[in-house]
Chains A and B, each alone.
Chain A
Amino acid sequence: MTAYALTDAWTMTRRELSRWGRQPVQLVVNLVFPVMLLLMFGYLVGGGRGVSGEYRDYLIPGMLALTMAFGLEGTMLAVTQDLNKGVIDRFRSMPMANGAVLVGRSAADMLQSAMALVVLIGVGAALGWRVHGGAAAFLGAVGLLLLFRFAMLWIGIHLALVAGKPEMVQAVQILVWPVGFLSNALALPDTMPGWLGTVVEWNPMSHTATAVRDLFGVPGAESGHVWPAVIWPLALLAVFFPLAVRRFGRLSR
């Protein structure tokens, strides 16, 4: 059975890629949505309270982190749909490697998030945004973003397995927004009321955003957040990965 673990995981990943091929519009919408947010907050809403220097330099790393956080919804929705359509039951009644369903989901979602990063960074570059750190720092920043996304992915899988109903996906979709915005993605915590600023600084996403700003060499970026940006996602993974795997196994209860 384990001999097929990789083959099955690849088959499941390919399934997602085929879905993109069938629904290119959906894929494009997913990739363009963060760009819309970026343009909206960068130009329409404008501002960036308390940010010294170019707001764009501050905003783009924040939007990258926010996009990774919003990925949670997509993951949860996809797993919920599979559960409710009974497709996961069919997979489980087949002689395939057990983990391939979740591995395939992870691989496809990570790929889509990587594409979203490329698009967003590309648009940022087109708007005149430049990275000031070195290539290694740049790759490190991308790595931190994807690590954060990976943690969100397993939270999404776990929530889908626990809640299991499309209505719950909606509830989470609504909740992800305030949680995403309760970070330093868009504005400095210093400008917020004391308690709110504290909450925002505690948000794991804030560490990722700050560390990415630091690595991108954004002028005035706070340093010292790289380690928290590594440790927070790993801690979330340490909790939610085993929980999700256990939940998946418990489908047979």
Chain B
Amino acid sequence: MADAAITVEGAEKRYGDKKALDGLDLRVARGTVHGVLGPNGAGKTTLVRVLSTLLRPDAGRIEVAGHDVLGQAYEVRLRIGLLGQHAALDEELGGRQNLELFGRLHHLGAKRARARADELLERFDLADTGRKAVRQYSGGMRRRLDLAASLITEPEVLFLDEPTTGLDPRGRAEVWDSVRSLVGGGTTVLLTTQYLEEADQLADRISVVDTGRVIAEGTADELKARIGGDHIDVVLRHAGQLGAAVALLPLTGVTVDADRRLLSAPVTDRMEALSGVVRALQESGIEAEDIALRRPTLDEVFLHLTGDDHRVKEAV
């Protein structure tokens, strides 16, 4: 792929015995939004830190915007923007002061740094609050300013490491809108997230990462097709009837959580599954406390993709 903005081949990073990156491969086409989806500790942040030259990989070939992250770190830094997990701002300074500071450090010169700060404050709807200390900003405002700070030089490649973790729904929506507005400007975006929905909303393609490796890759639709559709949860009144229910109910691939008296199973047709379960319960006299249809959880996505049963049961 000649037109790759990010190329990662066999990236490895070890911390003592723990392999944070274990032969990770990734290619991101120029001008696209790529989601990296995975649970805590999957290696997402390590990947972003390696790509943004903050961390030296132990092995692998890693190129960002056409430059090697090890040998040409300076060239890479000229072309990237980074939004880390926590807002990387000077809390004591105002919003405008922060942007001017980062502009100067990008060597824009005093005048252009000031103009760029004004432009970005305007664009991220922060013009009124530019003088206020960042300490007094709301979570969503802080994140938008942080995003503005990572766009000072209109980077070729932008890294967003869990951009909405810890934000309330409104803050999340604000950040999503900002990210969407970037796309089309030609910027390549690599976004890490724990939320299936977020990757779904924003990313053209998604890499699912676990234990330092990519375990699945594709568009959101492709992945969903592999993960399967909805699930049905049935909570019984008596734990003693769990075995009988598994045998009787018209479901396949049932998992049982005895402590919560819970049966779960993937379903293809929501209505058919629901009416089938209700009918079977009535006929057999097994008492249910609750029946619910729901989207698969991220745990189930990983169960499906890794086939790693016991780990998910622990999580459930």
Contacts and interface: CB of A to CB of B under 8 A. Distances in A.
Interface of A: 1, 4, 7-8, 11-12, 15, 18-19, 22-23, 85-87, 89-96, 100, 251-253
Nearest to B91: A85
Contacts, number: 78
Contact of A19 (B55, B56, B90, B106): B90
B104 A18 contact: no
A86 B92 contact: no
Contacts of A12: 105
A86 B84 contact: yes
A93 B86 contact: no
A94 B82 CA distance: 9
A110 B90 CA distance: 20
B90 A95 contact: no
B104 A87 contact: no
Given A11-B104, A11-B105, A15-B90, A94 B77 contact: yes
Given A18-B97, A91-B105, 10 more contacts: A12-B105, A22-B97, A23-B92, A85-B88, A85-B90, A86-B87, A89-B84, A93-B52, A95-B74, A252-B53
Interface of B: 49, 52-56, 74, 77-78, 80, 82, 84-94, 97, 101-102, 104-107, 133, 149-150
Contacts of B133: 22
A24 B101 CA distance: 20
B54 A7 contact: no
18 contacts: A1-B74, A15-B101, A18-B97, A22-B133, A85-B86, A85-B87, A85-B90, A86-B88, A89-B84, A90-B82, A95-B77, A96-B105, A96-B107, A251-B54, A252-B54, A252-B55, A252-B56, A253-B55
A8 to B, nearest CB: 6
Nearest to A3: B107
Contacts of B52: 93
A94 B153 CA distance: 10
